[in-house]
Amino acid sequence: MHITIYGSGYVGLVTGACLAEVGNHVLCADIDIERVNTLNSGHIPIYEPDLEALVQQGLATGRLQFTADLAAAVHHGQVQCIAVGTPANQDGSADLHAVSQVAQTMGRFMEDYKLIINKSTVPVGTAEWVRTIVSQELKSRQVALTFDVVSNPEFLKEGDAVNDFRKPDRIIVGTDQPYPTELMRTLYAPFNRNRNKLLIMDVRSAELTKYAANALLATKISFMNEMANLAERVGADIEQVRLGLGSDPRIGFDFIYPGCGYGGSCFPKDVRALQHTAQNVQQPLSILHAVEMVNTQQPYRLLAKIQHHFPNLQGRRFALWGLAFKPNTSDMREAPSGFLMEALWQAGALVQAYDPQAMSEADHRYGQRSDLQLCPTPETALIEADALIIMTEWKLFRSPDFKRIHSLLKQPLIFDGRNLYDPQQMAKLGFTYYGVGRGARLVG
């Protein structure tokens, strides 16, 4: 199939590379010429496991290309996929400006039938809105062409997106027309072999499914953080509670790890956008208001522990392991590390940070400043630091050399925002250890 994808960000890149891998001819369009040139050279501007090699493979076979020529993009594919960003507006609503631009572009240049797939995360009713925009452009050209608009939300986890696309749990398609249904079955046939994962539903239900899924996962995280905060007050260990909860098959172990809050490009903005949609139809979502409030406060609960231990943070130096909002990505959008660092800086503290993949992103975000040192290794971040703070659960941090940590820190003190270590073991090793919901503080 000949496929055009608008947007060469996270979703567009993964979608394009994976569709090209199975034999399709994919053209990814982007208005950022510098990004297009970088991608055509075989380099990608983000870190995602296996993605760069997959892009390079697609380029080498000629089945994956990148362009800033929007007219050529429209002409290339019978299948036109919208995968542009929908960031949050100040009121929490999704910014659909880029979606509108793509719809206008397709209406301006299309010359035959197109199947328009909306992969961007968008509010309920967007497919109808896209149809209206394309129709208006065709009308202004006095051209009568047929096209269909379907909803096909993505369910890609950052850090495992390539695997998620290759082996999806489900493929949601929103349409009530037989022809686009058959085209979508053909498109996804290579990823739908061992069982039927295609779920066909009406367009509005498909659009809502994406938001509902992310909101529910965010709710699980905030609920566990609430339980962790309670566990600290009553002397319980949230890790033991987590094992008890996860053993119930109705609950499961996914997304019930307490910590310093969720972040990234999806959960925060999607929770807000869904609340905005609900408010517009006079059906406020009280649960999601609480979910967002808990998540906003969670990084500062770790800060409160730091301030309790050090009443005066002026001049204190902290080693910080983990900048990305989760492992296996370089994404720092709304990362808890950012909120904590900014609070530490405001209190006069200095941060020595290390992350396996997000160092360039941190440098881009914060630049050169006297209270931030980006360190080449986890160990160099520890030198002369008053304490170690862990903000991202990278595998690299799970089993470190604790004797080395003990010797490099000014004092053996760890604030663990991801509960990587066992409090009893930390006490035996001589560390003062603060976790999240681990009961009483243990002093070695």
Residues labelled as active-site residues = 266
CB-based contact 181:214 (threshold 8 Å): no
Q: Where are the alpha helices (DSSP H) in 70-147?
A: 70-76, 97-109, 126-140
- Helix H or strand E encompassing 337: helix 336-346
With CA atoms as reference, report the closest residue to 88 among 331, 299, 277, 297.
277
Say how far apart CA 157 and CA 329 lie, in whole Å: 10
Per this entry, what is the length of the chain? 444
CB-based contact 376:296 (threshold 8 Å): no
With CA atoms as reference, report the closest residue to 306 among 337, 345, 344, 342.
344
